[in-house]
A and B are shown apart, each in its own frame.
Chain A
Amino acid sequence: MTAAVFFGCAFIAFGPALALYVFTIATDPLRVTFLIAGRASEGLKSINPEETAPSMRLLAYVSGLGFGITSGVFSFVNPLFDSLGPGTVGIHGDSPQFFLNSAFMTLVIILLHVFWGIVFFDGCEKKKWYILLMVLLTHLLVSTQYYSASLHLTSSGLAASVFTD
């Protein structure tokens, strides 16, 4: 598999998240801290005065993005680096588009996490518990859909990793 596959899939999966980061977060170090520390920013929040506090919406967005990027990276980085090594995708009759599919699904998951983050924080703030339930249910729904899709594929795609180190 070529470097083109590697870079192409990497940018498909992480491009939008990176763009979101560069244009909205990288400019403010406080936001970067919230991104990395995520939930561990309780302490920072408590000494945050009102006027220049990052608003709840921003915090929701940043932590959603943080969760999304982490989740996407952990899911996709191993196949991504496998794509740099030798191998033939789909040699046993599976889909040769394994990497492309994975890249798009990673992209979807990252964006979903951002949205879920914002909606969840909003639900918590306005104490509308049905919103939390909806977030949880939609999350489960998405995962179930992935699961049922994966069941229809026999020994999906990692023929490639059979041939890599």
Chain B
Amino acid sequence: MLTFMASDSEEEVCDERTSLMSAESPTSRSCQEGRPGPEDGENMAQWRSQDSEEDCEEDPDGYACSRGPGRPPGLEEELTLKYGAKHVIMLFVPVTLCMIVVVATIKSVRFYTEKNGQLIYTPFTEDTPSVGQRLLNSVLNTLIMISVIVVMTIFLVVLYKYRCYKFIHGWLILSSLMLLFLFTYIYLGEVLKTYNVAMDYPTLFLAVWNFGAVGMVCIHWKGPLVLQQAYLIMISALMALVFIKYLPEWSAWVILGAISVYDLVAVLCPKGPLRMLVETAQERNEPIFPALIYSSAMVWTVGMAKLDPSSQGALQLPYDPEMGGVKLGLGDFIFYSVLVGKAAAAGNGDWNTTLACFIAILIGLCLTLLLLAVFKKALPALPISITFGLIFYFSTDNLVRPFMDTLASHQLYI
């Protein structure tokens, strides 16, 4: 998510709008050197056409290029609309991919739908005889889980504020090690068991080692953008699968609701931890933990990278219509996938609910991006999508599903 300036007239536009742009980052320097000459000479009429946009986007280094200078203000909105639509697609694809991976796994690998204990964060069991007790237990589980997340987020922000970069870096490396090696090993084992494929240990270790090592390099250091994005999607999916397996039914739904409220508060309130994180990063002119966040354009910083249950989704989208890319927190990916995965796991092999939740989340994401285009600052990505998702899940499961089942069994189409 970097904007590369073609002329000085764009300086103030970028500074005003890009909250995460780093003026002295090595990338922007090298990009200016590496940019092709003709970009500077683009005239106003050209940027409108899709072709010149494509040319710019397909710059060999994968950088997002900015438009030529001197754009009249009346066309600002159209640009916003065009880039808005482009951003929407740029986020639809990874979110969809993550959800597809999770749903495909849930529907085929039995392991992730089997009840096999609970996380330590949700100690209260839901195997209680009465509904009231079950509800109470799920609310208590949610309270504990949310407080753990709040505490860890505040801890992270405090560390960041006091510049304990090494600590954060180590923490993130440990978490991604665990995800990329341990969880992948378990996942691969279960998939092989499901399809009854015999694989010897040396091959397995070779595969997991390569996958994990390349993942660590891509996420924490440098690598091709597409590969980094693919790894981020995969670790989000793995994390979501862990949540789907170990969160009991009712607790999961209450947690989803509570976490979207927390996200709203944390990103929008002046003293919210995530907002403080964004503002501190802005003051220091640093990008925020570039690999805690899925970015659709190249970001080359030797930064932290991580996926951690404590850092759930703020939508870090400092909006700039000249940018080629937007950023979405990995926590958002995870909780979207948890919602859709729970919908897939819950029905009796029913797909209507899953699809309804999927569409609800995409519509919510679309609306959030629209709001982003209007407000032009970091926004929480969870509330709208999760609200729609929850509404659609419960209404589809209880109202639409029996109806569609009856219709389908009589071959009746409306």
Do A and B make up one complex? yes
Interface residues of A (CB under 8 A from B): 28-30, 32-33, 36-37, 40, 43-44, 47-49, 52, 70-71, 73-79, 81-82, 98, 101-102, 105-106, 109, 142-143, 146-147, 149-150, 153, 156-158, 161, 164-165
- Specify which of A44, A48, A106, A165 lies most central, judged by the most chain B CB atoms within 10 Å of its CB: A44
Q: Given A37-B363, A109-B413, A150-B411, A75 and B78 touching (CB < 8 A)?
A: no
Q: Is the CB of B366 closer than 8 A to any CB of chain A?
A: yes
Q: Given A33-B366, A37-B366, A40-B367, A70 and B359 touching (CB < 8 A)?
A: yes
Least CB distance, B291 to chain A, in whole angstroms: 26
Q: Is the CB of B82 closer than 8 A to any CB of chain A?
A: yes
Interface of A is mostly: helix
Q: Is the CB of B77 closer than 8 A to any CB of chain A?
A: yes
Interchain CB contact (< 8 A) of B413 among A73, A106, A156: A106
CB under 8 Å from chain A, chain B span 300-358: 348-352, 355-356
Q: Is the CB of B164 closer than 8 A to any CB of chain A?
A: no
Interchain CB contact (< 8 A) of B405 among A49, A78, A156: A78
CB under 8 Å from chain A, chain B span 356-414: 356, 359, 362-363, 366-367, 370, 400, 404-405, 407-414
- For this complex, 21 residue pairs linking A to B, each with C-beta atoms less than 8 Å apart, are A30-B81, A32-B92, A33-B84, A36-B92, A40-B363, A40-B366, A40-B367, A44-B81, A44-B84, A44-B370, A74-B352, A75-B407, A75-B414, A81-B351, A105-B411, A106-B413, A109-B413, A146-B413, A146-B414, A150-B411, A153-B411
Q: Is the CB of B5 closer than 8 A to any CB of chain A?
A: no
Q: Is the CB of A49 within 8 A of B409?
A: no
Q: Given A78-B352, A81-B349, A33 and B411 touching (CB < 8 A)?
A: no
Q: Is the CB of B411 within 8 A of A36?
A: no
Least CB distance, B169 to chain A, in whole angstroms: 36
The 9 closest A-B pairs by CB, nearest first: A29-B89, A30-B85, A29-B85, A150-B410, A77-B351, A158-B409, A33-B85, A37-B366, A109-B413
Q: Which residues of B contact A37 (CB under 8 A)?
A: 363, 366-367
User: Bound state CA distance, A7 and B400, in angstroms?
Assistant: 26
User: Bound state CA distance, A79 and B395, in angstroms?
Assistant: 21
Q: Which residues of A contact B349 (CB under 8 A)?
A: 78, 81-82, 164-165
User: Bound state CA distance, A73 and B408, in angstroms?
Assistant: 11
Closest A-chain residue to B356, C-beta based? A74
Q: Given A36-B363, A79-B408, A105-B411, A74 and B86 touching (CB < 8 A)?
A: no
Q: Given A29-B88, A74-B355, A156 and B407 touching (CB < 8 A)?
A: no
User: Bound state CA distance, A73 and B407, in angstroms?
Assistant: 13
User: Bound state CA distance, A52 and B48, in angstroms?
Assistant: 9
10 new A-B pairs (CB below 8 Å) besides A40-B367, A49-B78, A105-B411?
A: A29-B86, A33-B84, A33-B85, A40-B366, A77-B355, A78-B350, A78-B404, A106-B413, A146-B413, A157-B409
